[in-house]
Amino acid sequence: MPRLPSHLRRHAYSIDPLLPLLLRSCRTLPSAINELRWLREHLLSSFPQSHAAQRLLRDRLHKLCLERSRGRPLQYILGDQPFGELLILCRKGVLIPRSAYPSPLPSINRAYTNILSVPARPETETWVTHLTTHVLQNTYINSQRAKDEPLRILDLCTGTGCISLLLYSLLHSQYPFLQILGVDISPTAIRLAQRNLTHNISNKLLPVSASTQIQFLQGDIFAEERAWQKSPYDIVVSNPPYVSPAGYNHTTTRSVRNYEPKLALVPNMEHDSDVVVGDAFYPHIVSLAEQMNASMIAVEVGDTEQARRIARMIGKRQLWRKLNVWGDGILDDGNSRMEAHHSGILPFTAHGTGEGRAVAAWQ
């Protein structure tokens, strides 16, 4: 990582002596200023307004800035991350959700988007939100709703549970019999996902009905016996590990490598050695969706190149009638097209701008 220019460090210090510490991780002055504001807001919420308390606040703020300068993710320091209208608890050992806006505080989540740096990682919140519009327009799914039958969603590699919770938040008013199951191999992730469910209900960000309509279960999607697979599902979603070992070593930040679980980022190639290293989970996830006769599937990907590979893989299976790649900006201009391709028998169309972020298919 290149050294920061000395004039930038001096300018940061002239604004606030703590900013040079944050620059080590933030790398840009606007981001460092925002993070200092968020850290200060975080502490002010728990400190009384007295002179002695203010001195203690400054000492504590300095310690938090030191932690951040060593690469500890801001979400782990603050404890949570906005995701849609929800607040997702974040803990070491579980992948941090990537929201459409990287602000860690809901009260300022939209206020400073003009100076925020867009995260390099895919914006999970964006494609999940876009998926719900397709769910609401799906003829088969809505015919099931007309019969008062439950809409069942399976979320594989659920992590914090953010996708399951956001889907419920966006769909439950239209699908009163909605049932969502989140599965992850990590017991740490499942405990945190359950905490996030309880946390959002207690903060009235989700209705009480979510406690019985959302479940989280520890499980290995590659295991031969999967009790959860015995139930049918209408939609399968997943944000699986998709980073190659080389990509993990060369493109991820120090913060990600030191604090976020490699298990959630890099596929275990013991499962399948016949595909590109970062793509190992996708054929199996698609196969599971087909076995459960799911009518829709949506999976997150790392970039356009990977999106094309996954779209081609799905298109050659001949069981899906429609195939899309969703890119950056899909919510701002859902009709914009990057380009159209043909993958075997089934053509796929890419919408949005910039990098591919998710691949979706319909039966």
Reading the block at residue 167, the tokens are 């889907």
What SS3 class is residue 327? Answer: strand
What is the structure's pLDDT at 262?
80
Specify burial of residue 281 (Cβ count, 10 A radius: 0-12, 13-18, 19+): buried
What is the structure's pLDDT at 247?
79
User: In terms of Cα–Cα distance, which of 114, 322, 102 is closest to 311?
Assistant: 322
Contact between residue 255 and residue 220 where contact means Cβ atoms under 8 Å apart: no
pTM: 0.85
What SS3 class is residue 352? Answer: coil
- Spell out the residues 6+ positions from residue 3 whose beta carbon is closer than 8 angstroms to its own: none
What is the structure's pLDDT at 103?
45
Helix axis angle, 281-291 to 304-315, nearest 10°: 40
- Distance, CA of 38 to CA of 115 (rounded, Å): 14
Reading the block at residue 5, the tokens are 């220019």
Residue stretches of the chain with pLDDT short of 70: 1, 48-52, 99-122, 144-147, 269-275, 331-345
pLDDT in tens, 248-297: 777 777 778 888 878 788 787 665 555 677 888 999 999 999 999 899 99
Contact between residue 101 and residue 109 where contact means Cβ atoms under 8 Å apart: yes
Going by their DSSP bridges, the two strands 296-300 and 86-89 should be labelled as unpaired
Reading the block at residue 235, the tokens are 């939609």
pLDDT in tens, 56-95: 888 999 999 999 999 899 999 999 999 999 999 999 889 9
What is the structure's pLDDT at 342?
57
- Distance, CA of 277 to CA of 269 (rounded, Å): 7
Going by their DSSP bridges, the two strands 322-328 and 353-362 should be labelled as antiparallel
- Distance, CA of 184 to CA of 157 (rounded, Å): 5
What is the structure's pLDDT at 104?
46
Q: What Rg value do the Cα atoms of the chain yield, rounded?
A: 21
3-state helix, strand, coil in the chain (%, to 5): 45, 15, 40
What is the structure's pLDDT at 108?
37
Going by their DSSP bridges, the two strands 86-89 and 80-83 should be labelled as antiparallel
What is the structure's pLDDT at 52?
66
User: In terms of Cα–Cα distance, which of 37, 48, 46, 96 is closest to 72?
Assistant: 96
The pair phi, psi for residue 119, each rounded to 5°, is -65, 145
